Structures are given as structure tokens and as C-alpha cells.
Amino acid sequence: MERGVQSLQWAASDRNLDALSFSVYYRLESDRTWKLLKQDLEDSFYTVNSDNFTDGTYIFKVVASDAPSNPPANALSGEFESRPFTIDNTPPSVKMWQLSIATARVQVAIDAADVTSTLNQADISVDAGPWQSIFPIDGITDSKAESYSFHSDVLSRGEHVLSFRIYDQNDNVGIGKLVVRIP
């Protein structure tokens, strides 16, 4: 599926083969009021740009109506609600700080957190070199907040840039950068 896209699809039929039209509504799981997203659809699918939604857990509702084949007083409708699902467009936050420098090696602490999703994969790079996987202090990236400790190899005198990236389960990427100076 393309990033930022949420596809909705449903099946509906009318016993006497009346033409159907569909309206799609949405709401945050914590809300009570449905908001109209699209009405008078003839197809039984709709694609939503999830980048237009704030982060949260949503429910969609499809209302099918046989109004295209009947006068308003005789039109019938039925509806169906989706399971709740999460939209997460916000990258994880990253905080990095230097703990120590000893024998031309730097030790760095990193905290990463995401409000909506579980963190997934973390990598670190020194001086724009290749990305290397890094694991949290507890050994497994499996929660919304993780702490990391990084010990560099021996670095030459001068400034060095440490870059850290972390993905959440929705592939949003958080980036951190720390400049260190080896005396």
C-alpha cells in the first residue's frame, strides 16, 4: 500500500436489484459524532489520504442507500462500521547527548519515543558512514519509548557527527544528530 493511503472496500447488494449509492463517514474512536467524508459514491470502494488526518484511532462507517432507484419516502438504507485502526503520521522524537569521551571514544545516550506507535528499527551512523543497527539497552525494540547507549570506535581528533534514525511501525522516521569533539 502506498504511504499516506488508506483504502476502504465493502460489499453491498439490494434484494430487488435497486441501484445503490454510498456515503462514507469517519470519527475518532473517542468521538461520538460521525463526520461525512464522501457521499453519493457509486463504487464500493474509496481511497482516503490518511495524511489529511491527525494521529489517532479511527472508525469508518459506510451507509448504503437505494435512493437512486426509489422516491425519497420509500428509500431504504443500511450501514456498516469498520474495525478501529490507527493513523500515525508523526515521526518518533529523538534526544541525544554525550556522556563521556575516553581514549578517543565517545559514549552517547539516546532516547527515542513515539506517542502513537511502537518503535521498530534503529540505526546509527558516524560521519555520514554506513548505517549500523543499534539495539536498545533492554535488548529489543518493542515499545513506544526506548533508550540506547552507543560507544564509538576510536575517532580521530576533531569534530565528528553522530546521526541516529529510528522508525515506528508505520515507517515514520525520527532523526537525531549530535556533534562531538575529540580533543
The rounded percent of the chain whose pLDDT value lies above 70 is 98
- Check if the beta carbon of residue 38 is closer than 8 Å to that of residue 21: no
What are the E-state strand segments in the chain?
Answer: 5-9, 21-28, 35-41, 45-49, 56-65, 77-81, 85-87, 93-102, 105-113, 119-126, 132-133, 145-151, 158-168, 173-182
Q: Are residues 80 and 135 in the same domain?
A: no
My answer on whether 82 and 117 are in the same domain is: no
Point out the domain boundary residue: 32, 59, 87: 87
Q: Which one of 33, 61, 87 terminates a domain? A: 87
Instruction: Find the CATH number of the domain harbouring 21.
Output: 2.60.40.10
Neighbours of 97 (CB within 10 A): 10
Are 104 and 33 within one domain?
A: no
Q: Quick check: 79 and 71 in contact, CB under 8 A?
A: no
- Locus of grid cell 569521551: 101
pLDDT tens figures, 9-18: 999 999 999 9
Q: What pLDDT digit, counting tens, does each position of 20-73 carry? A: 999 999 999 999 999 999 999 999 999 999 889 999 999 999 999 999 999 999
> 72 and 145: one domain?
no
Q: What is the pLDDT of residue 127?
A: 97
User: Dihedral sign, CA of 156, 161, 164, 165?
Assistant: negative
Asked if residue 150 and residue 100 are part of one domain, the reply reads yes
Dihedral over Cα of 67, 71, 72, 76: its sign: negative
pLDDT greater than 50 at residue 1: no
Domain membership of residue 142 as a residue range = 93-182
Residues 18 and 40 both lie in one domain = yes
Domain total of the chain: 2
Rounded-to-integer distance, Cα 130 and Cα 58, Å: 38
Phi-psi region of 30 (alpha: psi -120 to 50; beta: other; left: phi over 0): alpha
Q: Are residues 46 and 71 in the same domain?
A: yes
**pLDDT band at residue 6 using 50, 70 and 90 as cut-offs:** confident
Backbone angles phi, psi at 117, to 5 degrees: -120, 160
- 106 and 159 inside one domain: yes
CATH classification at residue 115: 2.60.40.650
Q: Over the stretch 124-169, which tens digit does the pLDDT of each residue have?
A: 999 999 999 999 999 999 999 999 999 999 999 999 999 999 999 9
CA distance 61 to 54: 18
Q: What is the pTM of this model?
A: 0.76
| Residue 98 and residue 134 share a domain | yes
Given 35, 63, 87, the domain boundary residue is 87
Give the chain's mean pLDDT. Answer: 94
Residues 65, 127 within the same domain: no
